[in-house]
Structures are given as structure tokens and as C-alpha cells.
């Protein structure tokens, strides 16, 4: 007699083969949160902004076309003859020093220069003075005279250059300064 015991015949469960799909191969093992910032989109945005600014910047720069007046050759001579303007002149003395004069009136020393300039600028509303110095005068001496003028009440100091006197054109910047 054949065993008809239902327990004796046990069928083995079917085993399926595991198939690896292409989307499973590129998937990371864990899909947890990333702690690093992805800077690739930030770099893309920066490059686009850089290109925009490089294109727009030259278009945004606007110049102003102006025509500056040319100095009149007689203007330097008028500066010395105009009674409203004060011209301080520094020339080389025969002994090696400097001769200082204000409106062609010689000044004996720097203390007298200060008192003379204080007297002139005490009542004037336009506190502008022009300085004309020989090229042989030491730079420090000219600066010292300009400092004394500032202390005496001069607010603006202009420089008369040799090119302005000789009828040539003024240097770029007009030849005046403060």
C-alpha cells in the first residue's frame, strides 16, 4: 500500500531568481539625507550673473563730452595786475636765498609775510591766492610759504606755472591746486 500520508509528500517551494534591473544598479544603498551642500547649481547661477554683469557694465558707463576753455595768454599777466587777486612770488636771491614778494611788494622774512597776508585777507571775502615760484627755489621753501599763507587766512591756493605765463597751454588739471 502506498503511503497516502499527506504529510509525507512535501513539495518544495518555488524559488524565484533575483533579477537585477538597470535602475537598481544606480540606486545608492541607503537613501538617507546628505550632509554636503550641492554647489553645482550655485556655480551655474554665479556664472550666469557674471556674464550678465560683463555684458551690461560697458553699456552702463556713460561719459560726458565737455569742452574746457583754453587759458588766455594774457590771463597770467592780468592775474598780477588785477587788484582783487593776490600773487605771492618766490624768486632766487643772488646770495642763494629766496626773495618773497606779495603783489610785487617785497617781504623781508616769513613773519612779515604772515602779518602782510593777515592784513590783506582780514577784510576779503575771496580768500584765494596764487603762488608763482622760480624753478630754482627749494620745494620746502615754497611749501613753508604756502603753510604760512594758510595760517594767515588763505583758503584756496592756485599755482601759476611757467607755461601759463609764457602763453603756452596749461597742464592737464588747470595748473591750480589746494
Domain ranges of the chain: 75-165
Q: Report d(CA 132, CA 176) in Å as an integer.
A: 11
Task: Quote the pLDDT of residue 11.
Answer: 67
> What is the residue whose three cell numbers read 591746486?
177
Spatial CA neighbour of 102 closest among 138, 135, 136, 148: 148
Task: Quote the pLDDT of residue 172.
Answer: 43
Task: Quote the pLDDT of residue 44.
Answer: 94
Q: Note the pTM of the prediction, 2 decimals.
A: 0.47
Q: Which helix (H) or strand (E) holds 88?
A: strand 86-92
pLDDT per residue rounded down to tens, the chain (178 residues): 555 655 656 666 677 666 666 665 566 666 667 778 888 899 999 999 999 999 988 887 776 666 666 766 665 555 445 667 888 888 888 877 788 888 888 888 888 888 888 888 888 888 888 888 888 888 888 888 888 888 888 888 888 877 655 554 444 444 444 4
Q: Which helix (H) or strand (E) holds 57?
A: helix 40-60
Q: Report d(CA 40, CA 147) in Å as an integer.
A: 61
Secondary structure of residue 23 in the 3-state scheme = helix
Grid coordinates representing 124?
Answer: 576779503
What is the dotted CATH code of the domain comprising 75-165?
3.30.420.270
Amino acid at each position: 500500500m502506498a503511503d497516502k500520508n499527506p504529510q509525507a509528500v512535501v513539495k518544495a517551494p518555488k524559488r524565484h531568481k533575483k533579477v537585477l534591473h538597470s535602475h537598481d544598479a544606480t540606486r545608492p544603498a541607503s537613501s538617507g539625507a546628505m550632509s554636503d551642500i550641492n554647489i553645482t547649481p550655485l556655480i551655474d547661477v554665479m556664472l550666469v550673473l557674471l556674464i550678465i554683469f560683463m555684458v551690461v557694465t560697458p553699456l552702463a558707463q556713460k561719459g560726458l563730452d565737455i569742452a574746457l576753455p583754453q587759458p588766455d595768454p594774457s590771463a597770467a599777466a592780468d592775474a598780477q595786475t588785477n587788484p582783487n587777486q593776490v600773487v605771492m612770488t618766490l624768486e632766487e636771491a643772488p646770495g642763494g636765498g629766496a626773495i618773497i614778494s606779495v603783489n610785487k611788494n617785497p617781504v623781508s622774512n616769513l613773519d612779515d609775510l604772515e602779518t602782510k597776508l593777515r592784513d590783506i585777507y582780514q577784510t576779503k571775502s575771496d580768500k584765494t591766492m596764487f603762488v608763482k615760484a622760480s624753478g630754482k627755489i627749494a620745494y620746502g621753501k615754497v611749501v613753508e610759504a604756502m603753510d604760512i599763507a594758510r595760517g594767515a587766512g588763505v583758503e584756496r591756493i592756485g599755482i601759476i606755472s611757467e607755461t601759463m605765463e609764457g602763453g603756452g597751454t596749461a597742464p592737464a588739471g588747470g595748473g591750480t591746486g589746494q
